[in-house]
Chain A
Amino acid sequence: AQKITQTQPGMFVQEKEAVTLDCTYDTSDQSYGLFWYKQPSSGEMIFLIYQGSYDEQNATEGRYSLNFQKARKSANLVISASQLGDSAMYFCAMREPLGNEKLTFGTGTRLTIIP
């Protein structure tokens, strides 16, 4: 069974600093997708970034980048130049292969940006 582990329940980071949120995963599949979502206090789930298991380059989306280390089965989210609006819960998720499209989520990391 697939499993996502986020070992940091909470993090405090100074504004404008970079932050890395850890995510490790466990799967026996060769083909899978990894996602990061942001959930602010208002509750909605906001898609941030995606990495496919066969993608050779790390994904980047603006200030977000995904540090994908396939051999270590890790997919850490890096946020550069953090802003107060980055304060939220962050979830790592994995998508199963073709034919079964559910997302398996980690327990999340609560990020607080300090001014």
Chain B
Amino acid sequence: DSGVTQTPKHLITATGQRVTLRCSPRSGDLSVYWYQQSLDQGLQFLIQYYNGEERAKGNILERFSAQQFPDLHSELNLSSLELGDSALYFCASSRGGGGLDYGYTFGSGTRLTVV
């Protein structure tokens, strides 16, 4: 157990639908990151939150949004789903606050299948 909890582990939904992926960071970590891993795009950074505030944005579609709550858990909302959104979505956490030291701790991922 990495300490980062992602739910659900698997999700199958239809095109056009909306889903919410949840992440609880490791205890003491203030930063949460979301990544998408698909066969054609590889691992892509989506967005980062630090202590409730958005800190960095990557290749996140407008149909996607995220937030980090006061208890530091984070949710990634994916709407108007398309077949191409099928991917493994990772959450990772770190102490945050800058620094180049040890990397993140990744959760086990949510595998999203859009049919």
Contacts and interface: CB of A to CB of B under 8 A. Distances in A.
Contacts of B96: 101
Contacts, number: 70
Contact of B103 (A32, A93, A97, A99): A93
Report the interface size class on chain A.
20 to 34
Interface in A83-115: 91, 93, 95, 97-108
B43 A43 contact: no
A31 B98 CA distance: 12
A64 to B, nearest CB: 14
Interface of A is mostly: loop
A101 B90 contact: no
Interface of A: 31-33, 35, 37, 42-47, 50, 52-53, 91, 93, 95, 97-108
17 contacts: A33-B101, A33-B103, A37-B106, A42-B108, A44-B2, A44-B106, A45-B92, A50-B102, A98-B98, A98-B100, A99-B98, A101-B98, A102-B33, A102-B45, A102-B56, A105-B42, A108-B42
